């Protein structure tokens, strides 16, 4: 198991290229299974979750070829015959549960393990299952597996997501595009990852109404064809590096290849910190403020502040002048980074689903432990501005979701190296 050794503090100066999005690529990969011919996805990042999902897909007999140099993933479902996603793989990442919608939609049968993924608290899948039941599928749970069966044509119906769910919207769209007469999802997720999936399916031949709104109506078509589609830039990586660029007063960073339209309200909120931000096409230039303004945030569904950026934001707020609060309304328990950032010297206190932060506190290097993907990257952000040596242990979480993280940050002046954990 690897760790990062970070020597700080270091300002960041230079250009960071943004990678393709993990969370946008995964649903596209599942959608490729629905096609009757091969699909090619470009701008795919080299991430552990992508490799894991490749293996999940391969178990079914689908041919998957990842040209890592070109970032091109080719998926040919011609020989797909085994309608199962096993526990050993699905437990490693939550999005492999998309196999349920994809296999049920295409073949009317699926056996898929209940999912894993970042585990900061309960992450139920009741909406995925009840939505499929509403559509007309028979869903049973047996020994940790979901066993799903559906007739050639399901009647469909209307299902309201409460709360709105990215994963459930994706699974229900995948399950219905080839098999439900007419199915309406209310309070559907509008996250860019969902919009890209729906637009891709339409290009493959699907009939989906209401894309980009919170009501999606899907009418089954007879078949879908494979296409070539470009994956989006990673909006969470973009936000993470914007925050990183604001944390040291001498930092001056340019992000290239960003999909700015996918950032929702984040840039407006970010400007409240006092950072100087200039956006031009796919380039975002950030100059850190001399002093960060304390800025409260509350996570919301898109286009609101993403839960996947709240840990990084709270970590930045340890350097703001005065008190601030970060409230997560999507995941109430997503605060495992708090005791770790506190070990570095932060003054943070969790009260229900809010962390209250008193700034500005100097941070000092120590050993800290990553507990999930976004918690891990927050510890890297803290380590880069902490005085002395910070060891971030268990960085395998980071390898799930940040492509070439240490290379990208080292190239702009950070002092980070990867080492075996016993070193």
Q: Which residues of this chain interact with ligand UD1, rule CB under 6 A?
A: 23, 26, 94-95, 123-128, 163, 165-168, 193, 307-308, 330-331
Burial of 70 (0-12, 13-18, 19+ CB in 10 A): exposed
> Residues 16 to 45: which contact ligand PEP by CB under 6 A?
23
Annotated catalytic residue, options 104, 118, 168, 269: 118
- Quote the tokens at residue 23: 């969370």
User: Is residue 194 part of the contact set for ligand PEP (CB under 6 A)?
Assistant: no
Residue 118 designated active-site? yes
- What b/e string do you get for 174-190 counting C-beta neighbours within 10 Å, with b at 16 or more? bbbbbbbebbbbebbbb
- Quote the tokens at residue 417: 């190296």
Q: How far is the CB of 168 from ligand UD1 (least distance, A)?
A: 5
**Nearer to ligand UD1 among residue 60 and residue 165 (C-beta):** 165
User: Is residue 397 part of the contact set for ligand PEP (CB under 6 A)?
Assistant: no
Asked if the bond preceding 303 is cis, omega within 30° of 0, the reply is: yes
What are the Cα distances from residue 260, in Å, to 103, 257, 264, 283, 390? 33, 9, 8, 8, 32
User: Is residue 403 part of the contact set for ligand PEP (CB under 6 A)?
Assistant: no
User: Is residue 73 part of the contact set for ligand PEP (CB under 6 A)?
Assistant: no
**Nearer to ligand UD1 among residue 148 and residue 294 (C-beta):** 148
- Quote the tokens at residue 100: 């349920």
Q: How far is the CB of 423 from ligand UD1 (least distance, A)?
A: 31
The stretch among 91-99, 251-259, 266-274, 335-343 that binds ligand PEP (CB under 6 A) is: 91-99
User: Is residue 93 part of the contact set for ligand PEP (CB under 6 A)?
Assistant: yes
330 is known to lie in a ligand binding site: yes
**How far does Cα 246 stand from its chain's mean position?**
22
Taking CB atoms, the residue at the shortest distance from ligand UD1 is 167
Nearest-10 Cα torsion for 6, 51, 35, 27:
-40
Q: What is the DSSP pairing of strand 367-369 with strand 388-393? A: parallel
In the set 71, 77, 117, 226, which binds ligand PEP (CB under 6 A)? 117
Q: Count Cα atoms within 13 angstroms, Cβ side, for 308.
A: 21
Decide: helix, strand or coil at residue 21. Answer: coil
User: Is residue 233 part of the contact set for ligand PEP (CB under 6 A)?
Assistant: no
Contact 366, 339 (CB under 8 A): no
The stretch among 69-77, 93-101, 152-160, 226-234 that binds ligand PEP (CB under 6 A) is: 93-101
Nearest-10 Cα torsion for 349, 323, 317, 376:
0
User: Residue 264 binds which entry of ligand PEP, ligand UD1, none, with Cβ cut-offs from 5 to 8 Å by kind?
Assistant: none
**Nearer to ligand UD1 among residue 125 and residue 260 (C-beta):** 125
Q: How far is the CB of 28 from ligand PEP (least distance, A)?
A: 15
Contact 227, 35 (CB under 8 A): yes
**Nearer to ligand PEP among residue 224 and residue 233 (C-beta):** 233
Q: How far is the CB of 27 from ligand UD1 (least distance, A)?
A: 8
Q: Count Cα atoms within 13 angstroms, Cβ side, for 96.
A: 33
**Nearer to ligand UD1 among residue 107 and residue 331 (C-beta):** 331
**Nearer to ligand UD1 among residue 125 and residue 350 (C-beta):** 125
In the set 308, 328, 340, 391, which binds ligand PEP (CB under 6 A)? 308
Query: What secondary structure letter does DSSP report for 305?
Result: B
Among 338, 337, 335, 376, smallest CA distance to 353 is for 335
343 is known to lie in a ligand binding site: no
Binding-site residues from annotation = 22-23, 94, 123-127, 308, 330
Binding-site residues from annotation for UDP-N-acetyl-alpha-D-glucosamine = 94, 123-127, 308, 330
Name the site residues for ligand PEP (rule: CB under 6 A).
Answer: 23, 93-95, 117-118, 308, 373-374, 401
| Catalytically active residues, by annotation | 118
């Amino acid at each position: 198991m690897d760790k990062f050794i970070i020597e700080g503090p270091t300002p960041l100066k230079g250009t960071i290229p943004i990678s393709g999005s993990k969370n946008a690529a995964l649903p596209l990969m599942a959608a490729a299974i629905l096609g009757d011919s091969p699909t090619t996805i470009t701008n795919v990042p080299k991430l552990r979750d992508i490799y894991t999902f490749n293996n999940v897909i391969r178990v079914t007999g689908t041919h998957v070829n990842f040209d890592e140099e070109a970032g091109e993933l080719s998926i040919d479902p011609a020989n797909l015959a085994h309608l199962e996603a096993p526990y050993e793989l699905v437990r490693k990442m939550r999005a492999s549960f998309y196999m349920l919608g994809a296999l049920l939609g295409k073949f009317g049968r699926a056996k898929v393990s209940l999912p894993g993924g970042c585990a900061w608290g309960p992450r139920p899948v009741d909406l995925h299952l009840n939505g499929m039941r509403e559509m007309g599928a028979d869903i049973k749970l047996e020994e940790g597996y979901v066993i799903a069966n559906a007739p050639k044509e399901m009647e469909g119906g209307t299902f309201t997501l409460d709360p709105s769910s990215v994963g459930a919207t994706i699974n229900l769209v995948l399950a219905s595009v080839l098999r439900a007469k007419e199915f309406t999802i209310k309070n559907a997720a509008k996250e860019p990852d969902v919009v890209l999936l729906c637009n891709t399916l339409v290009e493959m031949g699907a009939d989906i109404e209401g894309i980009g709104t919170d009501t999606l109506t899907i009418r089954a078509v007879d078949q879908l064809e494979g296409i070539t589609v470009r994956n989006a830039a990673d909006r969470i990586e973009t936000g993470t590096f914007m925050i990183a660029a604001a944390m040291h007063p001498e930092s001056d960073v340019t992000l290239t290849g960003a999909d700015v339209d996918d950032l929702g309200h984040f840039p407006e909120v970010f400007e409240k910190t006092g950072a100087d931000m200039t956006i031009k096409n796919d380039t975002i230039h950030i100059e850190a403020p001399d002093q960060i303004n304390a800025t409260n945030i509350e996570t919301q569904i898109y286009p609101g502040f993403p839960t996947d950026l709240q840990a990084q934001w709270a970590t930045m707020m340890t350097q703001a002048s005065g008190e601030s609060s970060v409230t997560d309304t999507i995941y109430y328990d997503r605060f495992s980074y708090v005791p770790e950032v506190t070990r570095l010297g932060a003054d943070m206190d969790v009260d229900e689903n809010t962390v209250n932060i008193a700034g500005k506190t100097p941070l000092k290097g120590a050993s800290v432990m990553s507990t999930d993907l976004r918690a891990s990257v927050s510890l890297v952000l803290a380590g880069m501005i902490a005085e002395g040596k910070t060891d971030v242990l268990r960085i395998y979480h980071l390898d799930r979701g940040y492509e070439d993280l240490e290379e990208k940050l080292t190239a702009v002046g950070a002092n980070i190296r990867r080492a075996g954990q016993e070193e």
